[in-house]
Amino acid sequence: RALFGLAYDGFEGKKLDLSRDETIAKVSAFAAERLRGLVAGATSNAVADAVFAGGGADQPVYVTVRARAVHAAVTSKNAEAWLGKARTVAKRLSGISKESKPVMHQASEFERPDDATIVELVTKLDALTRELDTENLVEQALGKAGDVAASLDDIFTRMLVNDPADPRTPKRLELLSYGAQCMLRIGDFSKLV
């Protein structure tokens, strides 16, 4: 965006149809769509959709790194083992994220053992997805994200996470929303078909 702003400033004194902000937004959208097309061509439409849903179109190197690693994981022999659960968990977390803002909570704020497990899993997911600068780091995160997704799926089947009778439900949903945000750092697994 800064580069587009500098380019716009280079036309100072010329009559332009759009304001600086409008021009930057249009050029950014065009560049993102072109990058998405290149990523889709090198991987697949589903991988491009998943990776771009996580943001980062303004950092092409990192989008490309994530796309390559996600594509390798999705096309690997054992992809079905974790991808189905990751997709299901991503869809559930997406629904929660629409209702609750993402906030990291500590285990001490909860009483139930399942809540402590959720805190542990979200903490692990947060640590796994903080640094995704190289394909190797993304591959490592993907390798462990499958286990986290399976554990979260198990919790969703055992526990009513949005129990209206539980006063800690709002915090639990905020925590799960934070977990969804962490997963999106890699990509939106629900888009991987």
Of 85, 93, 183, 79, nearest to 138 (Cα)? 183
Is 171 within a domain? yes
Is 65 within a domain? yes
Is 6 within a domain? no
Residue range of the domain that includes 181: 17-191
Cβ atoms of 189 and 87 within 8 Å: the answer is yes
Is 5 within a domain? no
* Residue 103 confidence (pLDDT): 95
Domains contained in the chain, number:
1
88 vs 152: CA distance, rounded Å: 10
* Residue 107 confidence (pLDDT): 94
pLDDT above 90 (res 55): no
Surface-to-core class of residue 166, CB atoms within 10 Å of its CB (0-12 exposed, 13-18 middle, 19+ buried): middle
Q: What Å distances lie between residue 13 and 2, 66, 161, 183, CA to CA?
A: 20, 41, 58, 46
Is 8 within a domain? no
Of 182, 188, 190, nearest to 103 (Cα)? 182
Q: What percent of the chain has pLDDT over 90?
A: 35
* Three-class secondary structure of residue 167 per DSSP: coil
Is 61 within a domain? yes
Is 10 within a domain? no
- For 105-164, the pLDDT digits (tens) are 999 999 988 899 999 999 999 998 988 888 888 888 888 877 888 888 888 888 888 888
* Residue 11 confidence (pLDDT): 77
The whole model's pTM is what?
0.80
DSSP-assigned states of every residue in 41-99: HHS-HHHHHHHHHT--TT-HHHHHHHHHHHHHHHTSTTHHHHHHHHHHHHHHHHHHHHH
> Cα 23 to the chain's mean position, in Å?
28
Is 11 within a domain? no
